Amino acid sequence: MNILSLEFVVFVLATVIVYYIVPLKIRWCVLLAASGVFYGFAGWQGSLWLVLTAALSYGSSIWQHNLLLKERAAAAAEEAGAETASSAPAEADKKVCASRKIKIYRKLLLAASIILPLGAMAFSKYFDAIRALFTSSPGLAIIVPLGLSYFTFQCVGYMIDIYRGKAEPARNPLKFLLFASFFPQMTQGPIAQYTQLMPQLEEGHRFDPDNFTAGVQIALWGLFKKMIIADNLAAVNSAVSTNNRGWFILLSVIIYLIRLYCDFSGGMDVIRGAAKMLGIDMAENFRRPFFSFSVAEYWRRWHISLGNWFRNYVFYTITTSGFGIWLAKAGKKLFGKKAGRYFPATISTIVIFFLIGIWHVANLNAVLYGLYFGLTMGIELLLEPAFKKLKKKFRVNEKNVFWKAFTLVRTWILVLLAQYFAITATPKEAFGLLGATFRNWSFANGWAQFTDITYAIVWKVAGLAVVVLIIVDIICERKPDINMKLARAPFYVRWPVLIFLILAIVIFGCYGADYDATAFLYTHF
C-alpha cells in the first residue's frame, strides 16, 4: 500500500475513526489489526518473516530476563558468601561459579538471538551482491520483506536492552507483535526504542483535536516535500553524466541531496502525521540537517533514529569493551594522552559508518561512502584537542557570523563530496563525475540544459517549492514547536496554510502530463 495513495489516506482515516470509537483498553487491538492489514498488502511471505522475527525476540527476551534475575540472585548470594568465605570457601566458590555460568549463558543466548535475525537480513540483502563477485549464474529469488531493516533493528535493540536490564520484557506476545509491526514505521522507519514507543501503543489515547490537526499538518507538509520537490527533481539525477557541463554536474549533485532529503523526510512526515492523528509521537528522524556546522552535527540531524541505534548498540559496545580499553591504551602511545582518549571513538565511528554505508546498498560505492564519512568524523575526533588549541591561539569566536558561515559552507562541501558516490553505481563513475565537475563551465544556453530534461514549468514549481522549504525550515529552526502552535491557532491563521498545502499538492503534485508517483528512495532498505 503506497503511503502516497488515496487508498492509504482512506485506510488511515478509517483506522483513526475505529480507534477512537472502541473502548480505551482495547484500542491497541485496533492498531494491531490495522498493522496486520497494512502489512498483509505487502505479501504473506514478508508477514511470515516479520512474525517469526517478533516471536524469536519475544521468547528469547523472556528467557533472557529470567536468567538475569537468576544472575542477580546468584550475585547477591555471592556477596553474602564472601563474608563467610573463610569458614566455608568451597561453598563460596560454587556461588561464584554459578553467577559466572549464568552470565555466560546470557551472552550466548543474546548472541544467538541477534545473529539469527541479523544474519537473515544480511543474507537477503547481500547474498546476490557477493555471489556476483564469483559467478555469473542466476541469483536466488529472495523476497525482501517491506521494512526488513526497521523491524529487525527494533527487535535486536529490544533484546539488547533486555540483556542490559534497561527494559522489562513484554508479557503479551500480541502487544509485542504490535511494537514490531506498527504500520506507520514499516516503509520509512523510524527505528523506535521499546521504552519510547511501547507505552504509547499500549495506552488508549483519547481524541485530541490539536493532536489530530497537528498530524494532518505534518502529513501534508510531508506530501508537499515528497510530491512537489522530490518527485519533480527526480529526472535530473538520471540525466547527469560526464558529458554535462561542470556547473550542471555540481548543481545535479546538490539537487540529488535536496531530493533525497525531501523524499526521505517527506515520507517520514507522512507516517509521523498518521501516528500523531492517533495520539502517538514517533521519534524524530530529521532535524533540518542543512543547518549543520560540522559533519558530525549533520549526522546527528540526518536519519536520527539510525544514528541513535548504532550509537547505543554498536558504538558503546566497542568503546566500553576490552577491545575499546586496548584501543585507548594504544591511542595514548601513538597520539599522546589527550588525543589518545579519542582513539576508541575514532575506530568505532569508522566501523559504524562502514556499516551504515553497506546498509544503504550492497556495492563498493556504498563502502566508500561510509568510510568517507567515518574517516572524516574519526579524524575530526582525533584532532579535536589540536583544533581547540588553534582556535584558542587565533582567538576564534565560534559565535561570529563569518565563522558560522565558513563552517556551514565547509560542511556542505564535505557532505556534497560524498554524494558523488551515492548518485553513481561504481567508483569509476563517481571519480569521473567528480573530475568532470571542474571542466567546461560555459553558461551559454544554460537553461536548455534543464528544459531538455523536463518541462520548464516543472523546474519553476520545484524551485519555488524549495524556497518555501528553506523559509519553513528557518522558522522551525528558530521555533521548533511551530507545528503545534499552528494547530492551536485561530482558523483564519491555520486554514490558509492548510488550503495552500492541499491545493499545491493537488495541482502540482498529483496531476499533469507524465505524472508518476516516484517510489521512495529508502523503501527498499
State the DSSP H helix or E strand holding residue 506, giving kind and residue range, or none if neither. Answer: none
- Cell of residue 37, nine digits: 492489514
Tens-digit pLDDT profile for residues 14-71: 999 999 999 999 999 999 999 999 988 877 788 899 999 999 999 999 999 999 999 8
pLDDT grade for 517, boundaries at 50, 70 and 90: low
- Work out the number of other CB atoms within 10 angstroms of the CB of residue 474: 12
**Which of 79-88, 163-172, 288-297 has the weakest average pLDDT?**
79-88
pLDDT of 127 reads 78
Least confidently predicted of 48-52, 101-105, 339-343: 339-343
What pLDDT, on the 0 to 100 scale, is given for residue 513? 44
The whole-number pLDDT of residue 383 equals: 82
Q: What is the dihedral of CA 376, 380, 382, 385, to 10 degrees?
A: 170
C-alpha cell belonging to residue 354:
562502514
Q: Assess whether pLDDT exceeds 70 at residue 275.
A: yes
| DSSP one-letter string for 311-353 | IIIIIHHHHTSHHHHHHHHHHHHHH-HHHHTTHHHHHHHHHHH
Helix/strand/coil for 286: strand
Residue 203 to residue 281: CA distance in whole angstroms:
13
Judged against a pLDDT cut of 50, whether residue 480 lies above it is answered with: yes
Q: What is the pLDDT of residue 96?
A: 53
pLDDT in tens, 7-16: 899 999 999 9
Is pLDDT at 111 greater than 90 in this prediction? yes
Average pLDDT of span 270-294: 92
pLDDT for 14: 95
- Confidence at 362, pLDDT banded by 50, 70, 90: confident
- Greater model confidence, 24 or 513: 24
Lowest mean pLDDT of 172-181, 333-342, 389-398, name the range: 333-342
**pLDDT at residue number 22:** 95
Cell of 449: 540544459
Give me 159's grid cell.
Answer: 533484546
* 58-72, 332-346, 388-402: range with lowest mean pLDDT: 332-346
